[in-house]
Each structure stands twice: as structure tokens, then as C-alpha cells.
Amino acid sequence: MTKTRAYRQTRRADSTERTRARILAAAQAAFRADPGGDPSLEAVAERAGVSTRTVIRQFGSKDGLMTAAIEDGMAISATDRRVAPGDVEGAVRKLADHYEADGDEVMLWLALAERLPHVRRVTERGTEMHVEWVEAVFAPDLAGLPRAARRGRVGAIATALDVYTWHLLRRRERLGREATREAMSALVEGARGAAAVHPARREAA
């Protein structure tokens, strides 16, 4: 009986997790499809193939659902953009690919954050994660820098690789995908500083 009960509980937990994942995916899709970036619980439930009551049981409220959906999207993004420290070219390429896929959606999140506190809390964490990613990827450039210089370089690189920068180049300036990536790479090289761009020159000194 104990083994049977444990098996049933495991199956029930797996089913609950699959339902949760389906609702999160539906919420993200509904968010992208809604012009105002504010889909109803009914719209999400219909996409997920569940009842509104199930959505509420899983996430508590619409605010809880949207917070979880944004956090889930950020977690996937953090995994997708992971590269080895010092792999600047790979980092810029992965980030540009991520923005091509999700940049417009992220811009919607940021717009919503200005009026929705629960979204603002999540996007602020996203900003922190972006800075942490920069510090990890560009660790060789940052090693040994005084605190003020390190902070300035991290800020400059993070800005060069921010979604706002991508959006300005891609949407306002109407650059193509590859041209946008190249422009961001150029901004990053400038932000890294002459010593980072020309390590041989630093060694010679």
C-alpha cells in the first residue's frame, strides 16, 4: 500500500508540474499576443486548456501568474545566454539572438513595470541578473581594477548590451539583425577600454 500511495503521489506531482508549465507557457504566449500586454485569466486558461479555477489554484491571482511567467522567462533566458568567462564574441551573439526572440516582449514587461509593482519587482531582478551576467562573462577584463573603475566598466558594458540599446538600434534605427549585433559588439569593445581590447599592449607596458 505504501509503494502504491507513493507512486500515485509522484504521478499527481508530475501532472501538477506539467499543468503549471503549460499555464506558464500559455501566459507568456497570451502576453505576447495581447496588444496591451495585459491578458485576462480566461485568455490564459483557454490557451492552456484548463479552467480559470485551475489557474488561480496554481498561482493564486493574476498578479501571481504574471510574476511567475516573467520569472520563468528570465530563468530560461539566463540559461540560454550562459557562456564561459572571456567568451565575449559568443556572449554578444547569444544575447543578440535572445533579443531577436524575446526583446520586444521584454520591452513590454518594462513598460508594464512603470505601473504594475509586481512586474517592477521582477524586472528589477532582471536588471540585477544582467549586471551579474556581465560581471561573470567579462571577469578577465575586470580583474584587478579598482572599485570605481570596475563599477564604471561594468556599467558601460551592461549598457552597451542592454535590451534598450538593442531596441534603439533594431527598431528605431531599423538596422538589420547582423548589423545590430555588430553595432553592439563595437559598443562593447569601446566599453571594455583600450587595455582590454589590446592585451598585448598592456603586457608590453
Residues 42 and 4 in one domain: yes
Give the list of residues 6+ apart from residue 53 with CB closer than 8 angstroms, or none.
none
Q: State the CATH number of the domain containing residue 54.
A: 1.10.10
Residue 83 CB partners (closer than 8 Å, separation 6+): 90, 91, 94, 137
Q: Are residues 4 and 97 in the same domain?
A: no
Which of 22, 40, 60 corresponds to the end of one domain? 60
Read off the pLDDT of residues 13-55 as tens digits, 9 standing for 90 and up: 667 889 999 999 898 888 878 767 678 899 999 999 999 999 9
Q: Report the CATH number that the domain containing residue 183 is assigned in CATH.
A: 1.10.357
Cell numbers at residue 78, please? 539566463
The residue behind cell 484548463 is 50
Q: Do residues 109 and 138 share a domain? A: yes
CA distance 20 to 22: 5
Which residues form the domain of 15? 1-60
pLDDT for 16 equals 82
Using one digit for the tens of pLDDT, what is the confidence trace for 148-190?
Answer: 999 999 999 999 999 999 999 999 999 999 999 999 999 999 9
C-alpha pair distances (Å), 196 with each of 1, 44, 46, 185, 201 = 65, 47, 52, 14, 9
Instruction: Give the count of beta carbons closer than 10 Å to the beta carbon of residue 22.
Output: 15
Report the pLDDT value the prediction gives residue 205, as an integer from 0 to 100: 39
For cell 485576462, the residue is 40
Report d(CA 169, CA 200) in Å as an integer.
32
- Tell me: do 77 and 36 sit in the same domain: no
Model pTM? 0.70
* 45 and 69 fall within a common domain: no
DSSP string, 90-150: HHHHHHHHHHHHHHHHHHHHHHHHTT-HHHHHHHHHHHHHHHHHHHHHTHHHHTT--HHHH
What integer pLDDT is reported at residue 3 of this predicted model?
55
- End-of-domain residue from the set 60, 85, 105: 60
